[in-house]
Structure 1
Amino acid sequence: MERIESAFDIDFIRGMTFGFVGEHGTWATDEARASMRALADEPFNWVTLAFAGLMEHPGHPAIDFGPPATVSDDEIAAMADLAHQLGLKVCLKPTVNCRDGTWRGEIAFGDARQPDLASWRAWFESYADIMAHYARLAARTGCEMFCVGCEMTTAEPHEAMWRDVIACVRSEYAGLVTYNCNHGREEHVRFWDAVDLISSSAYYPIDRWRERVPVLREVAEAHGKPLFFMEVGCPSRAGSGACPWDYRHPGAVDLDEQARFYEAMFSAMPDEPWFKGYMLWEWPWKLYPRDKAGEDRSYCIYGKPAEAVVWRAFAARA
């Protein structure tokens, strides 16, 4: 793994997220390897390997990682090795979901006025151990970046505990470290100084991009850190441009809606040193046939008009 002295020195990120949610066994298949090879034929220079451990519900402190809940270490290592062989840099991104369907940004012990600090500490201790384990795996497999958390909105106020998690990761891993906040949270996270890059899930509505850019610029410049989008994308369905974060949105297939979202985003984002690029959401481990793209309602751009939009934008930044 090449040692980067400053995150400002990395090439512009033209990335894609692969294989979420990372169920055990799904990456150790010919289908997953074929999907990764198809991803490498696109204009990407980075891939994020993303998978989610499980909590029973947002107030249950135990986190289930590893088989049978998630992909195994061997699956992760093999996919990281394949990505590297294909010329891609790799970000490892372990995160957490709740089995009852609650969003991870609503994990809570007690409430905002009276948090159950003992339960929060227990949860963070377990979380730090898990992140340290995957940081060791990222180091062993030469991953160029590690993401210590994703959209943990209700956990973010516990600043000291996050700093402990990040310190645990850095004790095991020498590469670039980021944290992935939710859209609209970029200016509220208080531990940006502890990571190398600021990142967010930038699921902004199609008509809000230009008003949001000055805020993102101010955040990056205030902290002296580059910013990139650890997640961003839009399903190919009618109405999703107004709520691109909503993977359950019921709209019918609309490939042009997805393309318009990408056009709006790329036209709004400036070519300035503080902005380091995109990790698009998402590319499945089991890729649909290209001739079936017109029937697909997911975030994947493969074979859709948005693919051409991404090609043009990324070719300009290669």
Structure 2
Amino acid sequence: MRIFKCLIIGVLLIALSACNGQVEKINGVSFVASGGSIDQTNVQPVVNVNANYAAIMPFGFMRSLDHTEIIHNTERQWFGETRAGAKQYIDELRKKQIKIMVKPQIWVRRGEFTGLIEMTDETNWKLLEKSYSSFIIEYAELAEEVNAEILCIGTELENFVKNRPEYWNTLITEIKTIYKGKLTYAANWDEYKRTPFWDQLDYIGVDAYFPVSDKQTPTFEDCMKGWETHKPVIKDMSVKYEKPILFTEYGYRSVDYSGKKPWVSDRSMNKVNLDAQVNTTKALYETFWKEDWFAGGFIWKWFNNYEKSGGVDNPMFTPQNKPVEAVIKSYYKSKK
């Protein structure tokens, strides 16, 4: 009888936890591809920061915004950008129970913004669609092969999505015949409200480079106030589609004005400001990580050569070997 009562109590506690939305957060890193393979020395820093997910990012390349061919999975690419490289990374990360989002991405020559990819006529649109399908199906097959928890079907492709909605509907249907896990799409921060196919996916994916402060060194309080404009709109999208929000990318550079235009990645901003990175990042966690409609996210970005990455003189996004790394580790531990 005592054992039976204990079992009943256990079931009730599990049920209450589910009702209270106590679901494991996705505490992720965007794991950058490199020229070689990785081993456990590259994985351990991911474990050390209390991450439980990694986004693996194979790449396809386009010569221009109106070029129809996406070159991918070739010997001319870095190993980590190919299918074999992505699989090798995943296999190593799995040894430490790190879960996986496969997130294929496109690089347009000279770093032009992928949201502006657009063809000039129907013939070229069809050619692009054929090439993109080849690219994304390659990695849907990989995601299924390795039992990836999430597949991201595209990243910041607003004009492509806007101009070719029927293609994307058909593509999603095809992907679902191949890959049986969770699906998302990484919409840019100013795109996600117009993305037309959220009802067909499992997460509303957002690359969360929202402006939160115009100050040179924004305080934590400044950034919290800055989120007051964006947070209700983001939550409304979750309510509208009955889908959790996933920050497919988030993060800030360690520079002056880091909260003003967080999407800026070029080297025109180069004055290091570690406090700005800490304050913006902490405010993001305080704003979202406690919400049950928020699934979590992937910090941008994490290099596999930890010892040589980041550092207090580095003005770029990576949190590695900077004060903000301790902030991430703390929040990932407490919300894991």
Letter in 1 for 2:301: E
Unmatched runs of 5 consecutive residues or more in structure 2: 1-20, 214-225
d(CA) in 1 for partners of 2:289, 2:105 = 29
Structure 1 residue 197, shift from structure 2 partner? 0.7
Match of 1:192 among 198, 203, 217: 198
The equivalent of 2:65 in structure 1 is 58
Match of 1:250 among 256, 269, 273: 269
Whether the aligned pair in 2 keeps the contact of 1:128 and 1:168 (CA below 8 Å) is: no
- Partner-residue secondary structure (3-state), 2:103: strand
d(CA) in 2 for partners of 1:122, 1:203 = 31
Q: How does 1:220-299 map to 2 (within 5 A)?
A: 220-248=238-266, 249-269=268-288, 271-289=290-308, 293-299=311-317
The alignment status of 1:140 with 2:145, answered yes or no, reads yes
- Partner-residue secondary structure (3-state), 1:280: strand
d(CA) in 2 for partners of 1:272, 1:29 = 35
d(CA) in 2 for partners of 1:167, 1:127 = 15
The equivalent of 1:151 in structure 2 is 156
Letter in 2 for 1:28: S
Structure 1 residue 45, shift from structure 2 partner? 0.7
Match of 1:15 among 22, 28, 31: 28
d(CA) in 2 for partners of 1:315, 1:101 = 35
d(CA) in 1 for partners of 2:73, 2:89 = 16
CA RMSD of the aligned region, Å?
Answer: 1.9
Structure 1 vs Structure 2: percent identity of aligned residues? 24
d(CA) in 1 for partners of 2:192, 2:111 = 25
Whether the aligned pair in 2 keeps the contact of 1:206 and 1:264 (CA below 8 Å) is: no
The equivalent of 1:34 in structure 2 is 41
Match of 2:237 among 201, 213, 219: 219
The equivalent of 1:3 in structure 2 is none
Structure 1 residue 52, shift from structure 2 partner? 2.1
Bigger Cα Rg: 2
Question: For 1:226-283, what per-residue CA distance to the aligned partner results, in whole angstroms no more than 9, with x for missing partners?
Answer: 1110000011122222111111142212211110110221222263321111111110
Q: How many residues align?
A: 299
| Deviation beyond 4 Å, 4+ runs, structure 1 | none
The equivalent of 2:18 in structure 1 is none
d(CA) in 2 for partners of 1:10, 1:177 = 18
d(CA) in 1 for partners of 2:230, 2:29 = 22
The equivalent of 1:306 in structure 2 is 324
Letter in 1 for 2:61: L
Letter in 1 for 2:139: Y
- Partner-residue secondary structure (3-state), 1:294: coil
The equivalent of 2:99 in structure 1 is 89
Question: For 1:184-215, what per-residue CA distance to the aligned partner results, in whole angstroms no more than 9, with x for missing partners?
Answer: 22211111111111111000123332210000
Unmatched runs of 5 consecutive residues or more in structure 1: 1-7, 111-115
Match of 1:161 among 158, 167, 170: 167
Structure 1 residue 89, shift from structure 2 partner? 0.2
The equivalent of 1:202 in structure 2 is 208
The equivalent of 1:121 in structure 2 is 126
- Partner-residue secondary structure (3-state), 1:218: helix
The 3 A distance-change label for structure 1 pair 146 and 9 is farther
The TM-score with structure 2 as length reference comes to: 0.84
Query: Which sits farther off after the overlay, 264-273 or 130-139?
Result: 264-273
Structure 1 residue 58, shift from structure 2 partner? 0.4
Structure 1 residue 29, shift from structure 2 partner? 4.8
Letter in 2 for 1:164: T
Whether the aligned pair in 2 keeps the contact of 1:131 and 1:165 (CA below 8 Å) is: no
d(CA) in 2 for partners of 1:190, 1:289 = 41
- Partner-residue secondary structure (3-state), 1:293: coil
Structure 1 residue 10, shift from structure 2 partner? 5.8
Whether the aligned pair in 2 keeps the contact of 1:206 and 1:265 (CA below 8 Å) is: no
